[in-house]
Structure 1
Amino acid sequence: MTERPRAWTGFVPWPHDAHGTVQLADVVHRYGRGGEDVTVVGPLDLSVTAGEFLVLVGPSGCGKSTLLHLIAGFERPTRGTARVSGDEPTPGAVAGAVFQTPRLFPWRTVGGNVDLALRYAGVDRAHRPERRARLLSRVGLEGAENRRTWEIPGGQQQRVALARALAAEHPLLLLDEPFAALDALTRERLQEDVRRVTAQTGRTTVFVTHSAEEAVFLGSRIVVLAKGPGTVALDLPIDLPRGDIDAEELRESREFADLRTRISHAVKTAAAG
């Protein structure tokens, strides 16, 4: 009999020396076969330490989402190795994921969507209401558990998707342009939420975006990918405050503006090839 995952009855932050590391070694990924195959990534080496918030940014077609899929285990490298916590990644077993669209179940309520994720995470039925309430509170959706997902706006739907991704004990969180379709104000608010939640949980995070501003605000480290095939054009640690901050003050600071300009310039250079 397969042993079920143990129940998680409370919140325990991930220590920075625990699981959640990512290693990509000599990774090349191609689509197609024979003479019609196209190399979209690599060769590329990349390591992410536990607790780090890595942002992948670059022009369209540079392989950002493909890299995320390799880390999640949705795809296997054509060449090289991908490891999460030292092992080959298995889809759904190594990371929580949030995509450009929420991918919620419309026949379930907000709470029902989170409950389903908790069930798959092995949380005992008796403990799910408390855990659900904590997750919804963490993403700013207190009291919304009985609402239908199609009754709430896109920003709140993405909050549900984030709560669902946090439901399991995975120490790794993957986000693929989750705010791309949202208005500017909602996007900024959710950026602040993701920054706060990941800081509180200590989860290793890999975030894909086209936006230099979003990358600088969120990341503790930014990797700019060159276009076609995706290789590392710039690997930059971000030395900005990550505790309790005034988000508006941070965005208006000289340090923030300088980093945004540097990343924007690097993306344009990478796009020019």
Structure 2
Amino acid sequence: MSSSSKTTVAPSTATTPAHTSSADGRPGSISLRGVSQIYGKGADRVTAVGPVDLEVEPGEFLVLVGASGCGKSTLLRLIAGFEQPAEGGVEVSGGAAVPGHTSGVVFQQPRLFPWRTVGGNIDLALKYAGVAKSERLARRKELLERVGLIDVDKRRIWEISGGQQQRVAIARALAARTSLLLLDEPFAALDALTRERLQDDLRTVSVESGRTNVFVTHSAEEAAFLGTRIVVLTKRPGRIVLDIASPILRTGLSAGELRDSPEYTVLRTQVHEAIKGAAE
């Protein structure tokens, strides 16, 4: 759990502890204990984030939110295993984070291979995931349908829109049967309508897959819509200033009903105020 204040908003605005158990070796669990990341040396030494203590339960959709430069993407890279912490320890599913093995990652830019077709990009991810060649066609179709893409597998990357490219990137990240999906501001470069549609799709996919998700954003609206749990970071060095569980149901509500609900309005406002206060 966070060493900072941790509360849960209920529809009545009452506050109670959000989590009482800690993550362990179960697939999809995440444990950050006393984690700090430091860049540079001497006069150029900068503490980007920390110390941070955070336990994430399997199946949670955790949103890391805060102003630019607060260290949320740094935390994501540590969870992915792209970096090692200067201090403290990171565990994913009870062991060390290993890039390409313990999690799938979606970046702000799709980072697809332009010389391959849509299907070719997915097939390559399936190959690295160890899926047998005889099974890849069916699995590719399943993944593309899951992210709302049908009959585009033979198209080149430059022949599809930016929003469709990001859908392909999500499908590629889902190709590996990892229990953890990490997303670093994947919709930031998209127009408002496309971003909203992909938020809707990601929310559905996360419920269907049952994976743990860690999503980085600077948007209170996006955090309130997607997260089962929201962590707000202070300005650099990033520390947890708010850790809150969402009162919003994951199923039984359409996207429109969710955005019109009073629970969403209360949560969005609380997160926005926390971001604003943490940046000062």
After TM superposition, the score normalised by the length of structure 1 is: 0.92
1:1-273 counterparts in 2 under 5 A?
18-272=26-280
Deviates more, 1:240-249 or 1:196-205: 240-249
Give the aligned residue type for 2:150.
Answer: E
Give the aligned residue type for 1:190.
Answer: L
Give the aligned residue type for 2:266.
Answer: D
Once the two structures are superposed, residues 169-206 of structure 1 have per-residue CA deviations (whole angstroms, 9 ceiling, x without a partner) of 11000000000011111111100111000100100000
Contact 2:26 2:94 (C-alpha < 8 Å) held by counterparts: no
Contact 2:106 2:169 (C-alpha < 8 Å) held by counterparts: yes
In 1, distance between residues paired with 2:41 and 2:252? 50
Percent of residue pairs bearing the same amino acid type: 62
In 1, distance between residues paired with 2:203 and 2:252? 10
Contact 2:180 2:212 (C-alpha < 8 Å) held by counterparts: yes
Once the two structures are superposed, residues 15-72 of structure 1 have per-residue CA deviations (whole angstroms, 9 ceiling, x without a partner) of xx94010000000100101232100111110111000000000011110000000000
Deviation at 1:249, TM superposition (A): 1.5
Contact 2:247 2:263 (C-alpha < 8 Å) held by counterparts: no
SS at match of 1:259: helix
Contact 2:61 2:226 (C-alpha < 8 Å) held by counterparts: yes
Q: How many residues end up aligned between the 2 structures?
A: 256
In 1, distance between residues paired with 2:154 and 2:44? 50
SS at match of 1:194: helix
SS at match of 1:166: helix
In 2, distance between residues paired with 1:204 and 1:99? 17
Deviates more, 1:21-30 or 1:244-253: 244-253
After TM superposition, the score normalised by the length of structure 2 is: 0.90
- Aligned-pair Cα RMSD in Å: 0.9
In 2, distance between residues paired with 1:151 and 1:51? 35
Structure 1 alignment gaps of length 5 or more: 1-16
Runs of 4+ residues deviating >3 angstroms = none
Structure 2 alignment gaps of length 5 or more: 1-24
In 2, distance between residues paired with 1:90 and 1:255? 37
Q: Partner residue of 1:11?
A: none
